[in-house]
Amino acid sequence: SIIETLLAEEVRLTMRNQQLSVILIAAATASAAAFQSAGGACYQRSPCSSTTLRAEEWNGEVVNDQDGRIRGCTVTPVSDTEFTVQIDGNEADLGNFGVAVYKKITSDARRQSFQGFRPGTIPPHLLPTYRAFAMDEVAREATLEAMQQNNIRPFESVRSDITFEQVSIPPKPQKKKKKSKKKKSKVEVVVEEQEEPAWQTFDDMQGALKGGWEPGQSFSFVATKCKGQQLKDPNMDASESLAALKNN
């Protein structure tokens, strides 16, 4: 209906404003100077924290390991300035970050007023929109973090240019079946071991959301159109300097 369309548009604009605010704050506090190259301006992100991510502290950043790095990411160059990033959900475990993002945006939404609903109530038909936003936000931040930890400085427009495909989600947990076998006066319980169901793969995020992805579940994906500049590894500079000293 027209009312539902207007409400959905209002939610989309609200979430986008929140997202832009996070990016502006990060850009304002970043310590590195803006980098300019012939390929275009580069995207700036504030350093990631290695502490546990909590919903009330979510600031648009995604990290996983204790050292602030995401595990299970593979970066493949397509050209000098374009890369493909693959995130393995088994290794990266993005579930906690999805929950944090979802709790943050729904908490903000409860402060909004929706016509026909009591204060603090989110219209149920808008919840899928929030789930989609949470999944998209986590995937984009994970991709940007994977690029930076591989010494690739993302271009300014990369965040909106990234395309996601081959999105895989884990199956919903299933309860183990139990069989009771009567033998005289004793009751023997036999637990059947079942193979762990395989992850389901979809062409895009929309398919994964329809397939049942929920905040709290991890997911795997392939990100394309990831454009940026490959920086020289500082360790390589140290090795070259050491080699030059030895030759002298």
Residue 130: pLDDT over 90: yes
Mean pLDDT of the chain: 74
Tell me the percentage of the chain whose pLDDT exceeds 90.
45
pLDDT value at residue 200: 93
Residue with tokens 């930890």: 149
pLDDT at 118 over 60: yes
Using DSSP bridges, classify how beta strands 152-154 and 163-169 pair: parallel, antiparallel or unpaired. unpaired
Contact 139, 132 (CB under 8 A): no
Q: Is residue 29 scored above 50 in pLDDT?
A: no
List, for residues 176-235, the tens digit of each pLDDT value: 665 555 555 555 555 555 666 789 999 999 999 999 999 999 999 999 999 999 998 766
- Coil, helix or strand at residue 144: helix
Mean pLDDT across the stretch 120-130? 93
Cα distances from 59 to residues 24, 103, 117, 129, 141, in angstroms, run: 11, 12, 29, 20, 11
Q: What letter does residue 38 receive in the DSSP assignment?
A: T
The more confident residue out of 242 and 9 is: 9
Reference 11, options 141, 127, 140; nearest CA is 127
Please name the residues in contact with 141: beta carbons below 8 A apart, sequence gap of 6 or more: 60, 61, 62, 97
Residue closest to 215 by CA, chosen among 146, 148, 138, 157: 138
Give the pLDDT score at 71: 83
Query: Beta 82-87 vs 220-230: how paired, if at all?
Result: antiparallel
Residue 150: Cβ within 10 Å count: 17
Q: pLDDT category, 36, cuts 50, 70, 90?
A: very low
For residues 106 and 169, give the distance between their C-alpha atoms in angstroms, rounded to a whole number: 22
> Is the full-model pTM beyond 0.95?
no
Q: What is the DSSP string of 74-108?
A: EEEESSSSEEEEEE-HHHH--HHHHHHHHHHHHHH
Environment class of residue 217 by beta-carbon count within 10 Å: exposed (0-12), middle (13-18) or buried (19+)? buried
CA atoms within a 13 Å half-sphere pointing along the CA-CB vector of 87: 31
- Res 141: pLDDT: 93
Single-letter code of the amino acid located at 90: N
